[in-house]
Every structure is written in C-alpha cells, then in structure tokens.
Amino acid sequence: MKRILFLCADNRVLSPMAQALARLYAQAGTLTYSAGLSAANAFEPRLMAMLAELDLAPRCSAPQSLAKHADLSFDCCVWLGPQPPPASGLNLDVQWTTPDPSDLSDAAYRHFRDRLAERVRHLVQMFEADLD
C-alpha cells in the first residue's frame, strides 16, 4: 500500500477537501489521508455541501492533527495553504500555495474546488505512474 498525506494548518478545509478529491482518482492500492499541524474544532461550514455535490465527504467526521497519524509513514506529503509551511522539519514532497476558500462566494468556492480537483488528479496520476 502507498500513502498520500494532504497537510494544512488546521485540517478545516484545504487538506480534507484535497483528500476527498484524491479518493476519486486513486487506485485501490493508494490510501489517502488528511491532517493539520493542529486540528480545528470543526470543518469549514460549506465544505460538506461542496463535497456532497460530487458525492464525496471527508474521510473523518472531524478535523485531525498530524499527531493522529504519527504511527504512519507516507510516500507523498502535500502541503496546502496560503502561506508556506512553518519550518518544522516536515518532509514535504509538494507545496501548493492555495487560498482559504472560506470567504469566497459559492460560485468561486466551486471554481476553487474544481481547480484543486485538477491538481489532485494530476498529482495522483503522476504518483501512481511512478509505482508501475
């Protein structure tokens, strides 16, 4: 099994959205995870509705911190956020500077989700091609 981790500051919107989208494209032998450096109290309010439009949902019922996955190793780690990740010794393979869509209109939020889906699809295809 290969593992991809999508990581953001608080696992409130960016990493759970990317992880849910990755499940659309990942083959059976690829597991996807999401986490934050810390865990927010709840997901961003529109996340569930925006994912539900694609028949998706976050893998977990609440945001999770990276510490929750401390016992796992990952083959690919993707940072998502409006700022570069903090210098915390993280072993990141990919860094995506992405805005927080929380303040966007519904139409702009969908556009953001769909553009992120394309990035995630491309990443998963490249990752899995390397496995062959």
pLDDT at res. 129: 83
Helix axes 106-129, 14-25, angle to 10 degrees: 50
- Tell me if 35 sits within 8 A of 12, measured CB to CB: no
28, exposed or middle or buried, with CB in 10 Å at 0-12, 13-18, 19+?
A: exposed
pLDDT of residue 83: 87
For the residues 38-57, what does the mean pLDDT come to?
95
pTM of the model: 0.93
Provide the pLDDT confidence category of residue 130 given band limits of 50, 70 and 90.
Answer: low
